[in-house]
């Protein structure tokens, strides 16, 4: 039985930061890293390929985890410099007509009212095409940038996130959908009976409300989350419309989706009310051999420079991997940072050198070849997993974007696996159209 249609998104790691500054095919992007052009071009290409959404990752600190110094990260432009991605949202919205746009915010540091108003404004400006990716933030240095001596404990951050989303959702509903009446005869623009205070008082947050802008066109923007810990999955089951998972095998993907659907059912939600999208990073070539050679070169680079991978992982887990013997058997490690990420990372080898050489973020190693071979793998994976789609992740260069949007996706479209046109005006409606 062929796979049903599935959804496509693009997870843009490092977001409004530096991309490919010392890599082939980057053109002038290193010099122009602070300009929006590359991101706007990406969004246009995704819309041409009928993607559901573009997700803009973010972080709020300059790492110093590797070697106890910021030097390694700054010298290599790893996670810094990085601009705030939220100003990109209206630029992308103006350059597109259908694509969903999902900025990232931290529930640990944003005030809920500020976030609810900002996202409502963007949803109104884009006529219903904005989502919000919620992160709890994992880095000690990020917490210190916001006045804390140390970061909040992992599970407590998710308790805060739960209350944060509950309050934001109430604020988005504080204006009824038809509150704006624009009745010239009576001289009434807003019906006061349809705007309500929320009077929210929780353990972490309180807000009188209402918002001072109208209800978002989607009612509630599309809510997205990517935490893979038990607490993250419980949070997603309560609130989210999309869950993103970075897993390396079809068996892991199926187990994750089955688990999420069971959690949704246990919460009294329709399992189809939350889409699970899996991170995929294809390597494409005109022949299978060409693609496989590109994979071999990439793995060789990772093996000869493991510190790049280890420094990146250190910034996510607050662990200084420079203090470890690269060739010693791995011991069990714990973190107050990204627990699910650390677990998946350490499972990719017996030593840190092996892990760095083998490292993949999501579904990467099986998806190498011609567009036909990669489409075969993606189709078979979705058939076995049961849905709901993929979030592409890879180097932000015009070459790679074109390989996906103008090479791979047309093959998926020919097979009837992904949409060839948008059926609805709103992001949410397109997401739940199938």
Q: How far apart are the first and last CA of the chain?
A: 17
Q: Of 383, 340, 380, which is closest to residue 362 (Cα–Cα)?
A: 340
**Residue extents of the structural domains in the chain:** 7-274+389-431
Handedness of CA 367, 370, 375, 377 (dihedral sign): negative
CA atoms within 13 A on the CB side of 165: 26
Q: How far is the C-alpha of 205 from the C-alpha of 226, rounded, in Å?
A: 23
pTM for the predicted model, two decimal places: 0.95
Q: How far is the C-alpha of 184 from the C-alpha of 139, rounded, in Å?
A: 53
DSSP state of 62: -
Question: Token pair of 377, please?
Answer: 């793998």
Angle, helices 250-266/371-385, rounded to nearest 10 degrees: 40
Give per-10-residue mean pLDDT for the chain (434 aa). 84 96 88 96 98 97 94 95 97 98 96 98 98 93 92 92 98 98 97 98 98 98 93 96 96 97 98 98 98 92 86 89 91 82 84 86 94 98 97 96 98 98 98 98
> In CATH, what number does 7-274+389-431 get?
3.20.20.30
CA atoms within 13 A on the CB side of 144: 9
- pLDDT score at 229: 87
- pLDDT score at 2: 58
- Torsions phi, psi of 174, nearest 5? -70, -20
Question: Token pair of 346, please?
Answer: 């350490």
- pLDDT score at 330: 86
Question: Token pair of 73, please?
Answer: 């990260």
Are the CB atoms for 69 and 323 separated by under 8 Å? no
Cβ neighbour number for residue 61 with a 10 Å cutoff: 21
Q: Spell out a b/e string for 18-43, using b for 16 or more CB atoms within 10 Å of the CB, else e.
A: bbbeeeeebeebeeebeebebbbebb
CA atoms within 13 A on the CB side of 378: 37
Q: How far is the C-alpha of 180 from the C-alpha of 372, rounded, in Å?
A: 51
- pLDDT score at 15: 95
Q: Which residue has the tokens 């993607």?
A: 51
Question: Token pair of 367, please?
Answer: 């998806």
Q: How far is the C-alpha of 307 from the C-alpha of 315, rounded, in Å?
A: 12
- pLDDT score at 293: 97
Q: Spell out a b/e string for 265-274, using b for 16 or more CB atoms within 10 Å of the CB, else e.
A: eeeebebeeb
327: exposed, middle or buried (C-beta count within 10 Å: 0-12, 13-18, 19+)? exposed
- pLDDT score at 377: 98
């Amino acid at each position: 039985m062929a796979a049903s249609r599935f959804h496509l998104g693009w997870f843009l790691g490092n977001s409004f930061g530096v991309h490919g500054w010392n890599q082939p095919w980057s053109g002038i992007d290193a010099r122009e890293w602070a300009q929006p052009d590359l991101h706007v071009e990406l969004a246009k290409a995704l819309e041409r390929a009928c993607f559901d959404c573009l997700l803009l990752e973010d972080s709020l600190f300059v790492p110093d985890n590797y070697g106890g110094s910021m030097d390694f990260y700054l010298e290599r432009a790893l996670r810094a410099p990085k601009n705030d991605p939220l100003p990109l949202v209206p630029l992308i919205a103006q350059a597109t007509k259908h694509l969903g746009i999902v900025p990232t915010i931290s529930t640990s540091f944003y005030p809920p009212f500020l976030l609810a108003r900002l996202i409502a404004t963007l949803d109104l400006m884009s006529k219903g095409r904005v989502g919000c990716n919620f992160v709890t933030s994992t880095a000690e240095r990020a917490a210190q940038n916001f006045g804390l001596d140390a970061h909040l404990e992992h599970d407590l951050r998710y308790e805060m996130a739960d209350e944060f989303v509950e309050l934001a959702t109430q604020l988005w509903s504080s204006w009824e959908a038809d509150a704006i009446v624009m009745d010239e005869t009576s001289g009434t623009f807003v019906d006061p009976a349809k705007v309500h205070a929320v009077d929210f008082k929780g353990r972490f947050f309180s807000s009188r409300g209402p918002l001072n802008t109208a209800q978002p066109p989607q009612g509630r923007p599309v809510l997205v989350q990517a935490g893979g810990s038990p607490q993250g999955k419980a949070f997603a089951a309560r609130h989210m419309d999309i869950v993103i998972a970075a897993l390396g095998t079809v068996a892991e993907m199926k187990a994750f989706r089955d688990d999420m659907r069971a959690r949704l059912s246990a919460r009294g939600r329709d399992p189809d009310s939350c889409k699970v999208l899996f991170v995929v990073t294809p390597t494409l070539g005109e022949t299978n051999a060409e693609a496989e050679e590109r994979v071999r070169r990439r793995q060789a680079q990772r093996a000869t420079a493991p510190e790049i991978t280890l420094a990146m992982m250190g910034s996510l887990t607050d662990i200084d991997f420079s203090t470890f013997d690269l060739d010693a058997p791995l011991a069990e490690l714990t973190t107050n940072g990204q627990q699910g990420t650390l677990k998946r990372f350490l499972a990719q080898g017996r030593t840190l050198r092996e892990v760095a050489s083998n490292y993949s973020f999501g579904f990467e190693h099986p998806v190498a070849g011609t567009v036909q071979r990669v489409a075969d793998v993606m189709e078979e994976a979705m058939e076995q997993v049961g849905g709901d789609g993929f979030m592409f992740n890879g180097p932000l260069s015009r070459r790679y974007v074109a390989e996906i949007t103008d090479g791979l996706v047309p093959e998926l479209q020919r097979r009837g696996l992904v949409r060839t046109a948008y059926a609805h005006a709103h992001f949410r409606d397109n997401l739940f159209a199938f």
